[in-house]
Structure 1
Amino acid sequence: MPYRLRSKVEIENLATKFSCWQRFGGNLSGNTKSAEEPEASSVGYGASIDGTGMSASQGNNLGWQWYTDPRLETLGFRGIFPSNTTPPLVEADKETSEQNYLQWRLEKGVAEGSTEIPKGEAVPLEYNLTGLNAISFDKGCYVGQEFIARTHHRGVIRKRLLPLKFVNESGKEMEQKVAPGSEVVYTSSDKKVGTVTTALGCRGLGLLRLEEAFKGSRILSIRGQEDVKVEAIRPDWWPAEWFPEHQQHTVAA
């Protein structure tokens, strides 16, 4: 079978004409399903439902529409709309800063982009991409497939990307005190547990060893900043087999 590996394309920058929007929040997450809010999956500047998503990429005569974020339902809906208009279902008094969405995403433990998922360095399974509809174990060969498949089927991932909260001794949130690249350590022994990969305000993401991150009453802090304590959070969307106690049981069995 012949394959066409290259073709000439023209790329046009439409950043000034279109904007990417995200609808998120407590009333759109958790148990909210696309079927329970059908208008959010189909509404746009056209009455037809665009199941192929062509309108979002090409702006055809179906209009521009909202689509469930393919990674996690808790992230809400996203869509591409003309920059000179306010998308449907967006209330004027509910529009907020992009920073608030970034914090929402960090709280859920979802990284995106090459800044948060370093190219050539990140191990997809450690960045939880199997739970974000980003990896297929059914398709044919691809670069890195053997390593990824072998690690996945062994079922033991010792490090994972976790949501982090930065607080002081009394548990009060500490803003803008931690930078990406900071090391997370046991406060008592200074033993390294992992590294902060992303930080925003009092929240962040960190690649930590699971067994040590959730080990009893051990207190975590930032190396060189002992006054900044680190709380590692278990995302509620994680499957049970990702947790350390399940992995230990699997290995023992």
Structure 2
Amino acid sequence: MNRVALPKSIAQRFRGIHHSPCKQLCNNNRCEGQVQSAGPVGSLLKSRSVIRFRGPDTLKFLQGLLTNDVRNFGEAVGDRTENLPTPNVPATSVPPIYAALLTPQGRFLYDLFLYKPPTCHTKLDHTGTGPDSKPHEPFHMFADVDASVLDELLQTLNKYRLRSKVEIDDVSSDFSCWQRYGAGLSEKSSQVEEPEAASVGWAAGVDRTAMSSSQGSDQGWQWFKDPRLVCLGFRGIFPSNITPPLIEVDKETDEQNFLLWRIEKGVAEGSTEIPKGEAVPLEYNLAGLNAISFDKGCYVGQELIARTHHRGVIRKRIVPLRFLDNDGKAIPFLLFQSW
């Protein structure tokens, strides 16, 4: 196989992705085929940290700050049906949202995956026999963010907080981010669930406990379709002291495999791969990755994004590449084997 010698500067930039050597991504020429054919597999994303927003002004604060529309997190998904033998709620959850925080000049700073946590009546009580009945919890949300810029992100968010009634905390010691991906996942629904689980409840109701056990943990945490692309699989945050559902010992793999999977799809993630303070989000396809709403109104850095979008002129864009031989077949490769 013919190899192309890359300039050292380019190789070093690849090596810097998530601060790990690129040669770890693939150590033999079967790697690409193994990643494409393996699955489904899951990876603990150590490159992501989890933060929590808590307080009555959370949605207002995020709505005026981020590129995406977060108002759906404030809408109720259904009421409990107290007239049934078990207190059921509709088996629906608000899916996570991918968004970005920009500079006032419209340059990329940080990306976030926002999650609305399960409420008390969607969790099991301490006996494990029914929904929890704890007092009303204050509104709160979680986000998984780039761990390498966590402190910077928290400082930036607190700078914008001013008098908003919202607390922002690092909860990475309590929660972890996971990704489930690989072959055989793209045809499934947005929530991982057993089709029979909804029929476990009484009468016409839906037993939320049964649904939770089939698609998530007994604390109510569950997998969601990655909000960017279907081919990226499923994403979720889970308590650090539990193993996510559908993750078995023989199906857990190193995060570097997901990094390779994602790069092959042409998807950049985090402030390490998307140059912080320099990149224009549209050049990194954040609109196509569902991270930008053009209908939500004002947010920090909106002017450049709206103007560029409506003019329709994007002079450069990140795209995935695939090298083919003369027969049109993909060329097996080694990443920087000489190192």
Shorter-chain TM range is: 0.5 to 0.7
Partner of 2:313: 156
Q: Considering fraction of residues, name the structure with more strand.
A: 1
The offset of 1:176, in angstroms, is 2.7
Question: How far 1:115 sits from its partner (Å)?
Answer: 0.8
Percent identity over the alignment is 65
Map 1:216-227 → 2, pairs under 5 A: none
TM-score normalised to the size of structure 2? 0.41
Number of aligned pairs?
A: 165
SS of residue paired to 1:138: coil
Contact 1:126 1:161 in 2 (8 A): yes
Alignment partner of 1:147 is 2:296: no
Q: Name the SS for the 2:298 alignment partner.
A: coil
Is residue 47 of structure 1 aligned with residue 209 of structure 2?
A: yes
Number of the residue aligned with 2:189: 33
- The verdict on how the C-alpha distance between 1:48 and 1:141 changes in structure 2, with shifts beyond 3 A counting, is farther
Does 2:293 correspond to 1:136? Answer: yes
Distance 1:123 1:11, change over 3 A: closer
Q: Please give the residue correspondences for 1:70-219 in structure 2 after superposition, counting only pairs within 5 Å.
A: 70-164=227-321, 171-176=331-336
Change in Cα spacing, 1:111 to 1:39, as seen in structure 2 (3 Å) is farther
Deviation digits for residues 70-112 of structure 1, max 9, x if unmatched? 1112111112223333211123211111100111111111111
TM-score after normalising by structure 1 = 0.53
Letter in 2 for 1:17: D
Supply the distance in 2 between the matched residues of 1:162 and 1:96 (Cα, whole angstroms): 26
Contact kept? 2:176, 2:237, Cα under 8 Å: yes
Q: Is the 8 A contact 1:18 1:83 kept in 2?
A: yes
- Residue segments in structure 2 that go unaligned for 5+ positions in a row: 1-59, 62-160, 199-207
Give the Cα separation in 1 of the matches to 2:244 and 2:174: 14
After TM superposition, give the deviation of residue 122 of structure 1 in Å. Answer: 0.6
Structure 1 residues not aligned, in runs of 5+: 51-55, 179-200, 202-253
The alignment's C-alpha RMSD in Å is: 3.9
Measure, in 2, the Cα distance between the counterparts of 1:138 and 1:63.
32
Which residue pairs with 1:22 in the alignment? 179
The letter of the residue matching 2:188 is T
Q: Which has the higher contact order (CA 8 A, sep 6+)?
A: 2
How far apart in 2 are the matches of 1:13 and 1:138?
31
CA distance in 1, matches of 2:274, 2:194: 33
Residue type matched to 1:32 in 2? K
Q: Distance in 1 between matches of 2:331 and 2:178?
A: 34
In the TM superposition, what whole-angstrom CA distance separates every residue of 1:118-149 from its partner, at most 9, and x where no partner exists? 22211111100111111111111223323222
